Structure 1
Amino acid sequence: MVMELIPSAVSFVDYIRSGKELPMTDVKTLFRKIVLTVEGCLEARVSHKDIKPHNVLLFRNASTGNFDIKLIDFGCGERITGYKGKITGGTPIYCPPEYIKGNEYLHVPATVWSLGTLLFYLVCHDNAFRTNDSIV
């Protein structure tokens, strides 16, 4: 896979760790862009399966000057061939309880869960969960 190089892009984690603040209006706009991006993936029958702050790059769009995002690292991704997904990786603290328990899971609800944990991170600058037990 080849992607464009955006030298100024940093992950949400790196941006927040640098001490910079994202105004809530930017968080709302960026999160909407993330949801639309993930929705596009699902419509293309691709489940990312590792949505987390490390895998969303933040940068200023050269033409508008506004923040923009890129979703990266589809290494755990899966082509959706049925309603249920296979457990093949991902970062546990962003995964839904059924994924942690080792059961089958559903692509869209699992994606919504991961998006929720990402939103929590963007608003609170911390992870929603720290252990598998706290998720379950």
Structure 2
Amino acid sequence: MKELFVLGVAGGARWLIHPLQDPYGDGFIYTAETELHHVGLTAKTIANIDGVYAETSTTLSGFVGRLAADWQGWDGPRTWQSMERELTLDARHDGRGHVSLGVTLRAPDRAWDDTAWSARVVFVLEAGEQMTGLAGDLAHFLRS
């Protein structure tokens, strides 16, 4: 059985991604069951993400990789969304060496509907080593 991708931080917050599925067998679109857990919160959805033919700059691993590469900071928020908005990441650099990485899940099959449920957890990570480790682990997971 393939392993899960897990981002966990002190305080018990966790973001999980289950092994990718290729529902059409062509490598263009993958689906991933993803979860958020925090005190009193459990949320799950299935996100449609770009497959192997997508340009790296638009992929989830490309987005996180750019955050890690820009460890010295950037202005304003940066955002990545899955194809149907079921999974959204937003990041802010505080200018002092930390990145706030927000992970938002939305109801599958209704993510376009702003009245559907959503859940968000923010992870605060060190901009250098923690972000680099996250980017490497996520890229490795999504390639396997």
Q: TM-score, normalised by structure 2?
A: 0.32
Indicate the structure whose relative CO is greater, using CA pairs within 8 Å and at least 6 residues apart: 1
Q: Which of the two has greater strand per residue?
A: 2
Q: Which of the two has greater helix per residue?
A: 1
